[in-house]
Amino acid sequence: MIRRLTELDRQSVLDYLYQEQAFNIFPIGDIETFGFDKDFQRVYADFDSMSNYKSVFLRYRNNAIYYSKTNDFNPDYFKIFKDDPFDFISGKAELFEMIESALKDFRKDVMYFVEADTLRSNKNNFPYEIKQLKTAKEAEKLFYLFQKIKEFAPYHSDLDNFIEAKMNSINMGMTLYIEDSGKIIASAGSTAETTKSAMVVAVATDPNYRKLGLASNLLEELLRIYLTQKKKTLCLFYDNPEAGSIYKRLGFKYLGMWNIYRKRK
C-alpha cells in the first residue's frame, strides 16, 4: 500500500532511509530540513502487510528520488508519477531497471557514486585564498563562472533565479570558491547536508585556470571541514574518469552506480 507521509512518520521513515545513509542523502536532507508540510515537497512510501517500509518516493520541487532497500517497486507509483510530474528523477542504478519503462521522455545519465570518510591531506604551498560564499554578490560571480562551463550553463540560465536558489540553500550546505582579479575562477560546494553526511556539488574551474590544482585544493578543504570539524562524511557523483582519479586520490571510495533522468525539452 502506498500512502503520502506526514509529520507522524518522520522518525520511522528516517530510520528506514538511514539504513543506507549515503544513498539517501537527498531525501534525508530534504525531510530533516523541510519536513512534510511544505507545498513544494511531498513524500510517499509503500508498505507491506506488516506496515514495514518497502520503498520511498520523494518529490522536491521539480526533482524526485526513488529508493528501496530491497529493490522493490510497486507499479501503483506510476499513477503518482503521472499526477505529480517532475523534470528530474534519480536513484540507485539497479532500482531503475524496474522504472525505465515509464521514463521514455527522459534522458539517462549514469554516474559513479563515491564516499569519503577519511581525510588524505595533500597540503602544499597553494597561492590562492579559499573563501566561503555568503552573499548574493558572490552568488552572482559564481553564476558567471558557471556560464563559462558547458556542463553547467544549460542548467543555470537565469541570474535572478540562480541567486535566489543559492541564498535559499545556504543552510543546506556551503560553497567554497577561489577568486582572481575580482572573478570567481573555481568552486566546490556541498548540499543536502544531514546530521551525518553531505553531497559534494558544483565542482567547477574556469577553463582558463585549469591544471593548477584549484579543484583539488577546494575539495581537500571541503573534506577537512566536514570530516574533521563537522564529523560528517562526504559523497559525490561523477562520470569523468579523469575526475575520478582525483577523487580516489583524495580518499573517496566507490559505493555503486547512480542514474539521473532529465526530462527532454
pLDDT of 24 higher than 70: yes
pLDDT of 156 higher than 80: no
pLDDT of 265 higher than 80: no
Predicted TM-score of the model (pTM): 0.85
Nearest to 1 by CA among 42, 43, 36, 50: 50
Order of strands, sheet of 41-47, starting from the edge strand that comes earlier in the sequence: 2-4, 41-47, 53-60, 63-67, 88-92, 253-263, 106-116, 233-238, 197-205, 183-191, 175-180, 130-132
pLDDT of 136 higher than 80: yes
In tens, the pLDDT along 60-106 reads: 999 999 999 999 999 999 999 999 999 999 999 999 988 888 899 99
C-alpha cell at 199: 553531497
Mean pLDDT over 203-208 rounds to 94
CA–CA separation, 196 and 219 (whole Å): 18
Other beta carbons within 10 Å of 104 = 7
For residue 193, the model assigns a pLDDT of 92
Residue boundaries of the structural domains of the chain = 2-104, 116-257
Total residue count of the chain as it appears in this document? 265
Q: Which residue do the cell numbers 551525518 mark?
A: 196
Task: Note the CATH number of domain 116-257.
Answer: 3.40.630.30
3-state helix, strand, coil in the chain (%, to 5): 40, 30, 30
CA–CA separation, 169 and 179 (whole Å): 21
For residue 44, the model assigns a pLDDT of 98
C-alpha cell at 96: 531503475
DSSP conformation class of 195? S
